[in-house]
Copies of this chain bind each other. A is one copy, B any other.
Amino acid sequence: MTHAIGYAAHHSFSNLKPLEFERAAPAAHEIEIEVLFCGVCHSDIHQAKNEWSNTVYPCMPGHEVVGRVTHCGPGVALHAVGDVVGVGCMVDSCRACAPCIAGEQNYCEGANGFLSTYNGPMIPSSLACTGQNMYGFDNTYGGYSSVLVVREDFALKIPAALKPEVAAPILCAGVTTYSPMKHWGVKPGDKVGIIGFGGLGDMAVKIAKAMGAEVTVFTHTPEKLSEADKLGVAGVLESDKAKFTELKGHFDFMLSTIPQKHDINPYIQLLKRNCTIVIVGALEMMERVNNAQVAFSRRSVAGSLIGSIADTQEVLDFCAKHGIGPDIQIIPIEDINKAYKQVIDEDVRFRFVIDMASLKAHTTEA
């Protein structure tokens, strides 16, 4: 057992506070990681506040984790003590279903799906021993913590060209936007529209541009138009009706990164015939879609969830190769509750990353 400390929410309405706990020693194929940095994803907030109605408390978020390997179980072959590694949204999967066998652990169809880095397996302890829980425990604690223990094949290699704090958001925001662009075949010269210009949108714009696409980003924040300029892509305000008229039938691919339900009808008509809009930000009941607009140009509305382990390694390497990464703002962990408020208020450019060195001073009396 290793003593650990992290920040957790105890109720949907409470702030995150320090929580001391024990991590199990690494098993044969597991590694122990000293967490260096952890990104702050909007999902962390959804989960901490029980906005998906499936939170198990205490809830210790964090699934954009970069750290240094401190111990290896005896069977570990992929990593060595001292390596800088990353952990994204998953720490295990059933390894037996068709998606797992195909290497798409993010679509695991095992009884509990993939094991989330935090709040997994999303079954309260009262049901954990009924055979409905293949993972054998009732909650996982994420990367807002000093130590993480994880199966070696769910840890990614952080390329030397990426700073650890920059690599962190790539593990969720990066792969969540990279994976659908890869799956739907975004290629050089394609016209790609990114909807929403927050943590995911920032990564999506940079990745699409590095893929050779001609990128337009849609935002409702006038101040962000200059950010689009800085990235050398077109920025469009979602209220700019003239621009929407001009862009009808313009895009080969669109990606919505808005982290809550929204109206996609204005965007559907911006797609070319036979093209697809993929929603990755919102996991909920969406606003109603006009099927005439979908059918009249044989368009598709699709969803995509994070990405596989292989996709995650690929996007890390892709970002290293192309010299791209998220714009980040480093915070100490004691600012996490303030940071949550800023994320909700869209007052972040574009991703908060917690410097976990700030955690060392803490004890439970904090």
Q: Is the CB of B285 within 8 A of A294?
A: no
Q: Is the CB of A107 within 8 A of B296?
A: yes
- Asked if A98 is at the interface (CB within 8 A of a chain B CB), the reply is yes
Query: Shortest CB–CB separation between residue A351 and chain B, in angstroms?
Result: 21
- Asked if A70 is at the interface (CB within 8 A of a chain B CB), the reply is no
A276-319 vs B: 1/0 string, CB under 8 Å? 10011011111111111111111111111100000000000000
- Asked if A151 is at the interface (CB within 8 A of a chain B CB), the reply is no
Contacts of A285 in B (CB 8 A): 288-291
Contacts of A58 in B (CB 8 A): none
List the B residue with the shortest CB-CB distance to A176. Answer: B295
Known pairs A273-B98, A288-B287, A292-B284; A297 contacts B107 (CB<8 A):
yes
Number of interface residues of A (CB under 8 A): 38
Q: Is the CB of A273 within 8 A of B107?
A: yes
- Asked if A332 is at the interface (CB within 8 A of a chain B CB), the reply is no
- Asked if A230 is at the interface (CB within 8 A of a chain B CB), the reply is no
- Asked if A99 is at the interface (CB within 8 A of a chain B CB), the reply is yes
Query: Shortest CB–CB separation between residue A265 and chain B, in angstroms?
Result: 9
- Asked if A183 is at the interface (CB within 8 A of a chain B CB), the reply is yes
A15-48 vs B: 1/0 string, CB under 8 Å? 0000000000000000000000000000000000
Q: Is the CB of A107 within 8 A of B298?
A: yes
Known pairs A98-B273, A273-B98, A285-B289; A294 contacts B298 (CB<8 A):
no
Query: Shortest CB–CB separation between residue A199 and chain B, in angstroms?
Result: 17
- Asked if A238 is at the interface (CB within 8 A of a chain B CB), the reply is no
- Asked if A159 is at the interface (CB within 8 A of a chain B CB), the reply is no
Query: Shortest CB–CB separation between residue A313 and chain B, in angstroms?
Result: 19
Contacts of A287 in B (CB 8 A): 288
Q: Is the CB of A280 within 8 A of B295?
A: yes
Q: Other than the known A279-B294, A289-B301, A298-B304, what 13 A-B pairs have Cβ atoms closer than 8 Å?
A: A180-B298, A280-B295, A282-B291, A285-B288, A286-B288, A286-B289, A287-B288, A288-B288, A291-B303, A294-B303, A295-B305, A299-B303, A300-B301
The 16 sampled A-B contact pairs (Cβ below 8 Å) are A99-B273, A107-B298, A109-B249, A109-B273, A180-B298, A279-B291, A282-B291, A286-B289, A286-B290, A288-B288, A291-B303, A295-B305, A298-B303, A299-B303, A300-B301, A300-B302
